[in-house]
Amino acid sequence: MYDNGTIIKGKVDALTSFGAFITLDDGSRGMVHISEVKKGFIKDIKDVLTVGDEIDVKVLQFNKERGKYDLSMKQATKEIEKEEKKTGPPEFEHKMNIFMKKSEERQVDIRRRMKSKQGVRNKSY
């Protein structure tokens, strides 16, 4: 069992309109509410996460009623960034992972804006 505030790795198992279900390193499960994925408004969680993504999460609490952890990606990111400032620059791979994640988020936003400007709609034939 993980303590509150622990940052651990997890893998996205399923996505819903309200969040993502995560399997942690030890096989236990938890959920990241959509408001705890990243800073700012998220219309569709699928724009940010996909099933199979490996992510860092912070344990907020263990929910005894559901038998699962309440998790936060947003708070884990803040903690990792604080730690990096204290310890110096991260390894190259870690830097590339951060760059790729931010780049993918930007690409999704650009595609969404382009579609709305072009007036692309779902057509049913």
pLDDT value of position 91: 75
End-to-end alpha carbon distance in the chain = 53
Question: Which tokens in the block code for residue 112?
Answer: 């969404």
Domain of 94 in residue numbering reads as 88-118
Whether residue 19 sits in one domain with residue 71: yes
Q: How confident is the model at residue 1 (pLDDT cuts 50, 70, 90)?
A: confident
Taking only the tens place, the pLDDT of each residue in 79-123 is: 777 776 666 666 777 778 888 888 888 888 888 888 877 775 655
Task: Tell me whether residue 6 is in a domain.
Answer: yes
Task: Tell me whether residue 123 is in a domain.
Answer: no
The whole-number average pLDDT for the span 63-79 is: 88
CATH number for position 31: 2.40.50.140
DSSP state of 90: P
Task: Tell me whether residue 125 is in a domain.
Answer: no
Q: What are the start-end ranges of the H helices in the chain?
A: 73-87, 92-118
**In terms of C-beta distances under 8 Å and separation of at least 24 residues, what long-range contacts does 101-109 make, across chains too?**
105/38, 105/47, 105/48, 108/47, 108/48
Mean pLDDT of the chain, nearest integer: 85
The whole-number average pLDDT for the span 25-54 is: 91
Task: Tell me whether residue 81 is in a domain.
Answer: no
pLDDT value of position 87: 61
Whether residue 99 sits in one domain with residue 51: no
Whether residue 35 sits in one domain with residue 15: yes
Question: Which tokens in the block code for residue 109?
Answer: 């936003």
DSSP state of 89: S
pLDDT value of position 110: 86
Reported pTM: 0.63
